[in-house]
Structure formats: structure tokens, C-alpha cells
Amino acid sequence: MNRFSANRLTPYLFMAPAALVMLLALFYPIAYMIWGSFRSWDPSQSITETDFVGLANYMKLLADPAFHESFWVTLVFAFSVVSVEMVLGVGLALLLDRKIRGMSLLRTLFILPMMIAPVVVGLVWRYMFHQTYGTFNRMLDAVGLPRVDWLGQNPLLSVIIADIWQWTPFIFILSLAALQSLPRSALEAARIDGATPLQQIWHVKLPLMAPVLIVTLLLRLIDAFKVLEVILVLTGGGPGLQTEILALRIARTAREFRELGEAAAMSNMLLMLLMVLTLGMFAFTRWQEARARRLRFTNQEES
């Protein structure tokens, strides 16, 4: 019996400040946005003066080729960065999961990219991708290869490369943590059975890491839909609409075109997309926990 619950107000007092702030600055704005997405909303009006337009904002978006393009760019961006980062991050973790001198320094240096402000990342990469004095083109010159117009001809690729640089460390650190907490006995058993290193990875390590890897993947995928500043500084969404991800389009629709209703409708759609991903993650962890509990139970019965 929990002695603290004698006073039934206590938990609410602990909870209140956080709940209040989140209600005021997250839930209320979201509700406001959903409401606004059904109205013809101009920033010069107060929202109560706006007209109710039903689904017009959504219809307009669904018929708008520019929105379609943003949507696809967002999906291509998110799925390509996440898949490359997964392969690289997990690969690096498998490679570096051994006792080496200076491992902690190495990890420190590897997590540096994710700590740096996205606007600064955008700034540096814009310099490196620059057509005439950028680092990459100078390197291509040095080895005698033709120059590449990174931001002009391959904008999406450039943006993807910058994101991979910044976020592969995230996958790397989490996979390394997962690897180092794997049960020693299973790895020993595989080694004694004479499995080659590759077989050990494929048949023992990866399956055992799978739960952590799936959560990591979903987390990173959700975050990939939030990326905005790097792209804003690197390409500004252009040339044309080639790198205009949804988040950027929302910001532009609100600020430049001053169509708040439409921007709200777009935000709603992005939110729904992310909600599906989050629910997926949720369901997965719940299932995982239930399975772990069941396994523990069976093991206890056996022993």
C-alpha cells in the first residue's frame, strides 16, 4: 500500500505545472489549428471573424500539384535518409563493437554532428557544396574528376547527404548500446559452434538487436519528418520545388502566401502521418513488453 496516496491531491500537485504548460502550449494550439483548418483564415483577421469553409482548404491542397510534390519530396527524403542511416549506423556499430583503446573518445567525436545547430549545419554544408569554391568540387578537381553542380542539379541528394552526416551518429550510438548489452552466452555459443563472423552477425546479433533497431528506426523516421532548418539554409526548398519538404511548405504558405487556413490543413495532414508512425511505435513496444513478460514467465516455469 502506497503511504503517499493518503493525500490524494499530491500526485496532481506534482503533475499540475507540466500538465498546465502542455495544455496551454501544445494541446490548445493543436485544437486551434484543427479548428482553423476548416476556416478561410487570413493573418490580418482575428480568427473569430473568419468564415467557415468546411473542407475547402483540404480540397484545395489535394488538387494542388505543388502540395503533391512536397508530399513526395518529404517521403523520399525521410525514407532515403533513414534507410541509409540505418545501414551505415548499424554497420559502424558492428564494426566498432570491440575492445579498442579510446572508444569513449571516439563516441564523443561521433556524436558531435547531432549536437550542432541545424542552421549551422546548413551553413557549413552550403559552403562545402558550393559550385566554385566548395570543398567537394575542389576535391573533385584535385583527383581530376568533373565538377558537380551539387545544389543546382542534385539538390535533394545534397540535402540527404547533409542529413546523413548529422544523424547517422544517432543510429550508431543506439545500435552500439544494443550490441553491448546482448547476452554474452548467445554470442559465445555461436562462436563455439563455429559460426563465421558474418554468420554471427546475421543469425545471432541482428535478430537479438531487432527490437531496439525497430524502435530506433521509427524514432528516426518520425524525426526525419521534422527536419527543416538544414534544408532551409542549404537550398531554401529550391531550385523550383525540388527540396521543398512539407514542413518548409507549411512555413512558406503561412508566411509568404499568408494562407493560414491552408497551412493549418497541411499541418494537420503531416500530424496525421506522424500519428500513424507513433501509434505503430507504440503498438510495437507494447507487444514487445508483453512478449518479454511472457518469455520471462515461461523461463521461470522451466527453471
**169 CB-near residues (< 8 Å, 6+ apart):** 89, 110, 111, 112, 113, 114
By CB under 8 A, is residue 39 in contact with other proteins?
no
Specify which residues 39 forms β-bridges with.
Answer: 52
Binding residue for other proteins (CB under 8 A) from 61, 81, 228, 241? 228
By CB under 8 A, is residue 10 in contact with other proteins?
yes
By CB under 8 A, is residue 248 in contact with other proteins?
yes
Question: Taking a C-beta distance cutoff of 8 angstroms, is the pair 235, 155 a contact?
Answer: yes
By CB under 8 A, is residue 177 in contact with other proteins?
yes
> What does the radius of gyration of the chain's CA atoms come to, in whole angstroms?
24
By CB under 8 A, is residue 107 in contact with other proteins?
yes
By CB under 8 A, is residue 127 in contact with other proteins?
yes
Q: How far apart are CA 226 and CA 82, in angstroms?
A: 13
Binding residue for other proteins (CB under 8 A) from 58, 81, 82, 118? 118
The number of residues making up the chain comes to 303
Give the shortest CB-303-to-other proteins separation in angstroms. 26
Q: How far apart are CA 275 and CA 259, in angstroms?
A: 24
Residue 138 or residue 191: which is nearer to other proteins going by CB? 138
Q: Which three cell numbers stand for residue 158?
A: 545534397
By CB under 8 A, is residue 246 in contact with other proteins?
yes
Give the shortest CB-302-to-other proteins separation in angstroms. 27
**What is the three-class DSSP state of 120?**
helix
By CB under 8 A, is residue 274 in contact with other proteins?
yes
By CB under 8 A, is residue 84 in contact with other proteins?
no
Q: Which of 226, 275, 246, 283 is nearest to 81 (CA)?
A: 226
Give the shortest CB-290-to-other proteins separation in angstroms. 12
Which range touches other proteins (CB under 8 A), out of 30-38, 55-63, 144-152, 198-206? 30-38
By CB under 8 A, is residue 167 in contact with other proteins?
no
Q: How many residues make contact with other proteins (CB under 8 A)?
A: 105
DSSP per-residue string spanning 165-185: HHHHHHHHHHHHHHHHTS-HH
Distance spanning both ends of the chain, measured CA to CA: 31
Which range touches other proteins (CB under 8 A), out of 146-154, 196-204, 261-269, 295-303? 261-269
